[in-house]
Amino acid sequence: MADIERDKSVISANIAQLDHRLDDAREQREISIGLLCDRVCRERADRGIESVYEEICGTLGSPSSEDKALICSRIGGSDFAAGVLMERNLFGDGEPAEAGTHGRIAYVRNKRNDDAFLIFSEGIKGARAHYTPTFAEACEAVFDNKCEFCMLPIENNRDGKLYSFYAMLDRYELKICRITEIENEDGSEATVFALVGRSVAALRRKDVKVRLEFSVVGEKADVILEVLRAASRLGGTVSSVGTQPVPYDDRSQRIYFAIDINGVSAIHMGLYLSLEYHGYTPLGLYKIQDRR
């Protein structure tokens, strides 16, 4: 028995030492990747971000999704990319609201929707309601530049995410700008409403926690694992993941993600997604504390 306990102690000590060496090796490897990124960004400043990203990835050989996220954070933080990132429309290419539409919110009128409108209107100068018979017509009012925003229910505590409404975001190229939660009168059901517009603004602050919502198209298991690892490397945590079938491809799915992350890292995550996934569609970017 004494020999077994001694052997266990020795093996445990060896494992701990190896873990320590692995941690040191990972740290040194990340420092080296950072130096490589800085050098390529500095020497290839006349090239586009895609070219710089491909050169760095090619030099590494077979970088992991964590490596790629690190590369995007170094590119995103470089002087080389400072004036270029926002031109890539990482969170959607919707144009700003036209004159005369500012503050106008389209929605289907009922008691809970009225409550959500009152909450959203607190933060919108000159907010005014524009009633529509259907949610689709509310989306069309924004798409057609008749309103600045519309309201959609996107989640409830009975069904979870309401992906039929997320499909409307895709169809009308709209983005979630803010959310609020409304309970019914007896408190038995809570619905999350989204204030939806044509575009969202990036929040370039590390001290601001945001939720980045987006979808990508691919084979479910591989894509989910890659995206979650990249988000974790940038300090993000997963709020939700859901899938919906893609009608044109039996093997692929549209995968919906909601990632909680700081404002600066959200930009780097958006860069990673735009470079890695042709099916990347930004669906929302908003402060987490907007939820009541």
Q: At CB < 8 A and 24+ separation, what contacts does 126-129 make?
A: 126/102, 127/103, 128/103, 128/104, 129/104, 129/105
Which pair of structure tokens corresponds to residue 209? 């926690």
What's the pTM?
A: 0.88
pLDDT tens for each residue of 130-158 = 999 999 999 999 999 999 999 999 999 98
Q: Measured in whole angstroms, how far is the alpha carbon of residue 281 from the centre of its chain? A: 9
164 Cβ contact partners less than 8 Å away, ≥ 6 residues apart: none
Q: Measured in whole angstroms, how far is the alpha carbon of residue 221 from the centre of its chain? A: 18
pLDDT at 87: 66
Which residues face 215 on adjacent strands?
256, 281
| DSSP state string for 179-202 | EEEEE-TTSS-EEEEEEEES----
- In three-state secondary structure terms, 120 is helix
pLDDT at 220: 72
Q: What is the mean pLDDT of each run of 10 residues along the chain (292 residues)?
A: 79 90 91 93 87 95 95 90 73 74 94 94 92 97 94 94 94 94 83 93 80 89 91 95 84 91 94 92 84 47
Side-chain half-sphere exposure of 95, counting CA atoms within 13 A: 9
On whether the CB atoms of residues 199 and 145 are closer than 8 A, the answer is: no
90 Cβ contact partners less than 8 Å away, ≥ 6 residues apart: 202, 267, 270, 271, 273, 274, 282
pLDDT at 291: 47
pLDDT at 100: 79
pLDDT tens for each residue of 12-61 = 999 989 888 998 898 999 999 999 999 999 888 788 899 999 999 999 99
